[in-house]
Amino acid sequence: MIEYKRTPAIKKAKEIAKILRSEKPNYFYLKDIFKIIRKELEIKIEKKSKKLPYVPNDDELKRFYKAVWEAKNFQDMLIIKTLLYTGARVSELVNMKIVDVDFETCQIRIHEGKGRKDRITPFPIQFREVLKGHIQKMKQDSATYLFESSWHRKYTSRGIQKMFKKYVIEAEISGNLTPHKMRHFLFRWLKSQGIDDALIQPYSGHETRQSLEIYSRLAIHEAQIVYTDKMKKFPV
């Protein structure tokens, strides 16, 4: 393999900057220029190899939930189960409002999730009565959000993560178990039950150019039927 002696990158960058300075470039102008340069030089973008994310196994999940259960904090239990059952992100969970919950369809509407997009996410039928009882109590306290602190304020993402970490320590889980890993667990578990990606996607909030076309053909109620059936076997 032939090694070329190149001009140091910083020196070459300064030369290019000197040429472009008179153009008074902005970010988008520079972006277009370097895109064209890459094309002219036939340089392909090298992608980093992706490592598989850590996902808790069934045993770790049960140990974690046991720690939550033994703490006897009812609202903490509901928060954990809502994360587990819906695959919601923490930032989405703390913004869920009581009016967003539809008990007839067993669905929660998420407003402006990642990418500022709305979506609907399910919860199991067996979770309905517990969640309904919680909401009745919250309404008595004139709450707006699905989960609020004792100061009648909505939780912060940091507050949820702090609470979560406390139970991870109590359960003596060595892996990097975070609220976001609950999303990974749910979607991996649904896939292990034979559910197709196209049925998982409407709830996950993920979109890719490759999958968008096929996913857009699927109605939410199609995914709900499969989800409801499979969640009867969920570990917790």
CATH number at residue 200: 1.10.443.10
Same domain flag for 87 and 159:
yes
Q: How confident is the model at residue 1, as a pLDDT?
A: 47
Q: How confident is the model at residue 71, as a pLDDT?
A: 94
Same domain flag for 148 and 195:
yes
Same domain flag for 86 and 173:
yes
Question: pLDDT digits over 56-88, tens only?
Answer: 889 999 999 999 999 999 999 999 999 999 999
Does a structural domain hold residue 50?
A: no
Domain that holds residue 26: 11-40
Question: pLDDT digits over 188-206, tens only?
Answer: 888 888 877 777 776 676 6
Question: Are 84 and 184 contacting, i.e. CB atoms less than 8 angstroms apart?
Answer: no
Check residue 70 and give left, alpha or beta (phi > 0: left; psi -120 to 50: alpha).
alpha
Determine the average pLDDT of the residues in 208-229.
59
Same domain flag for 170 and 102:
yes
Q: How confident is the model at residue 202, as a pLDDT?
A: 66
Q: How confident is the model at residue 207, as a pLDDT?
A: 56
Does a structural domain hold residue 5?
A: no
Tell me how far apart the alpha carbons of residues 159 and 53 are, in angstroms, rounded to a whole number. 24
Q: What percent of the chain has pLDDT over 70?
A: 85
Question: pLDDT digits over 80-122, tens only?
Answer: 999 999 999 999 999 999 999 999 999 999 986 555 678 888 9
Does a structural domain hold residue 212?
A: yes
The number of distinct structural domains making up the chain is: 2
Distances (CA, A) of 199 to 53, 135, 218, 220, 222: 22, 29, 7, 8, 8
Q: How confident is the model at residue 6, as a pLDDT?
A: 84
140 pLDDT band (50/70/90 cuts)?
very high
Higher pLDDT, 3 or 104: 104
Does a structural domain hold residue 46?
A: no
Same domain flag for 34 and 144:
no
For 158, half-sphere exposure in the C-beta direction (CA atoms, 13 angstrom radius) is: 0
Q: How confident is the model at residue 118, as a pLDDT?
A: 81
Question: Are 103 and 118 contacting, i.e. CB atoms less than 8 angstroms apart?
Answer: no
0.85 cut: is pTM over it? no
